[in-house]
Amino acid sequence: MRKELGLFANLRPAVLYPELAGASTLKPEVVAGLDIMILRELTGDIYFGQPRGRRNNAAGERESFDTMLYSVPEIERIAKVGFEIARKRNRRLCSVDKANVLDTSILWREVVSAVGKSYADVELSHMYVDNAAMQLVRAPKQFDVIVTGNMFGDILSDEASMLTGSIGMLPSASLDARNKGLYEPIHGSAPDIAGKNIANPLGTILSVAMLMRYTFNQEQAANRIEGAVRRVLADGLRTGDIYHDGCRKVGTVEMGDAVVFALAHR
């Protein structure tokens, strides 16, 4: 679907609300105040590269192969989105690759650097993906915006989700060149807990805030939704994935209703 609709830019924010500092797997002093954006290229890379498949090699052994592939225009367009997002935040963009090993990443770094010349007001840095994975758990607040390819972004954004206390807290946006797209929590449909009234709805609700901000350009509406989520968390309501002693454990419906109430009675 994302390939068919041209949804090449996947925005995955990782924000730690102060009330959830204790739910993170890291020490509060390491993650307190965390607010980063991971920008994942979504329609290229090894997931879509051709050729791919299985075969018998010359020795008669079975083997499988995939192709990591990026073109200059694909890299340019995701880099520009990254720089534009960084301009609206703290003007720091870290491009993550594996340019010490992969030719695809060498081209990625060259193109991102070239695009960066048009964004002199944004500080551009480069980092190998293995180091980036380490730095996300060592000192995550050093990052502002991270831009990377499809496979690396898939891995790093899920890693970043645990810094916030639960994958159920994280929204995402998958956008085309006109800022139209698909909004969803990053955890997917979670069929194993469907219909049990235990899922955390906040990632879905926060995805609506992203919809208001990035497609409809309604910053005030986005802020109101995010503010309602913060008020509910400040009131001590928690679904099971973010629950800790001293809070009130609620189900999916009650948490959703509480956010609606907070939104209506700001």
Catalytic residues: 47, 98, 130, 154, 158
Report the alpha-carbon distance of residue 180 to residue 140 in Å, rounded: 29
Phi-psi category of 219—alpha, beta or left, where left has phi over 0 and alpha has psi -120 to 50?
Answer: alpha
CB 10: neighbour CB atoms within 10 A?
25
Torsion from C-alpha of 119, 154, 210, 135, nearest 10 degrees: -60
Q: Which two tokens stand for residue 185?
A: 């929590």
Rounded Cα–Cα distance for residues 143 and 89 (Å): 11
Please choose, from the candidates 36, 33, 29, the residue with its C-alpha nearest in 3D space to the C-alpha of residue 11: 36
Cα–Cα dist 173/204, whole Å: 11
